[in-house]
Amino acid sequence: MERYSRQILAIGVDIQEKIQRSRVAVIGIGALGSRVSEILTRMGVKRLRFVDPDIVEISNLHRVSLFDESDIGMPKVIAATKHLEKINSEVTFEPIVDTVDNISWRELLKGIDVIIDGLDNDLSRSFLNYASVHLGIPYIYGAVTGEYGNAMLILPGKTPCLACFMKVSSTNNACEVIGVSPPIVETIAALEVQLFLNLLRGIEESELLYVDLSNMSLDKIKIKRNDKCSVCSLGKEPSINGNPCGVERVKQYDGELTFSNEYINVYNSEKGVYLVYKDKIFLKKRVS
């Protein structure tokens, strides 16, 4: 326990024991997800499952503290595991190359106690939210844009779910390449982990936390459950169709081979970028 002695002084032995029994899934291991994963690894969770279909690119490095230049072209989940294993060998890591959608959500979240959001698009979030509600697994939502970000604890059946107040936008402006300032990533990752600690303490308050770093403000916005919510009241699964952006599971690919390594072949086509793994293919859609 010497490894955790300083944090035990702050949070107590009982919470530390709960951390060390926790099986956490971090979905999306970009800037937010990799930072959350690093903190949870250092704090000593039992099991950490990462899910992400993408590879590390040079444009990630300004804000993704876990990755370095030697990781470029590697699947993010593999690169993350490589770094995190060196930080804490007591944690069991489960890297999974996949996306959360109507096919995968159930299998991806099997045996998980808490879901933490590191996603970069609202379509995948809508499936994650649905999975959380359907399986009864607490879900810690987090997202960033520019110097702004939000986080919220979602407890199925007790608090509002994401679909109570957020609709997946079907317009292209929801999928433009957005700017992100590194400090907001650190801030929201920290808040997501704090919500996890508060959950372990039994604090079930759920407000939308809105951080505006340019104004140094943190607002707590109260949201009510929506008794007509398509997900947590009516139980409807989100639709995969009609969304112009994000990563989609596909069966075939075309285009020109632009990158290849032991894990993946990457093809560039008019529709976008195909990530071709041995047993799965994903299309990162191009925004028109």
**Smallest distance from other proteins to CB 63, Å:** 10
Under the rule (CB under 8 A), what is the footprint of other proteins?
28, 30-33, 117-122, 142-146, 148-150, 164-167, 169-171, 173-175, 178, 180, 208, 210, 212, 215, 219, 221-224, 226-228
Tokens of 57: 């690119």
**Smallest distance from other proteins to CB 157, Å:** 18
Q: Which residues of 234-245 are buried (b: 16+ CB within 10 A; e: fewer)?
A: eeeebeeeebbb
Look up 175 and say whether it is catalytic: yes
For other proteins, give the closer residue by CB, 108 or 267: 108
**Smallest distance from other proteins to CB 218, Å:** 11
For other proteins, give the closer residue by CB, 26 or 91: 26
For other proteins, give the closer residue by CB, 167 or 278: 167
Choosing from 175, 229, 232, 245, the catalytic residue is 175
**Smallest distance from other proteins to CB 176, Å:** 9
For other proteins, give the closer residue by CB, 155 or 267: 155
Residues that are catalytic: 175
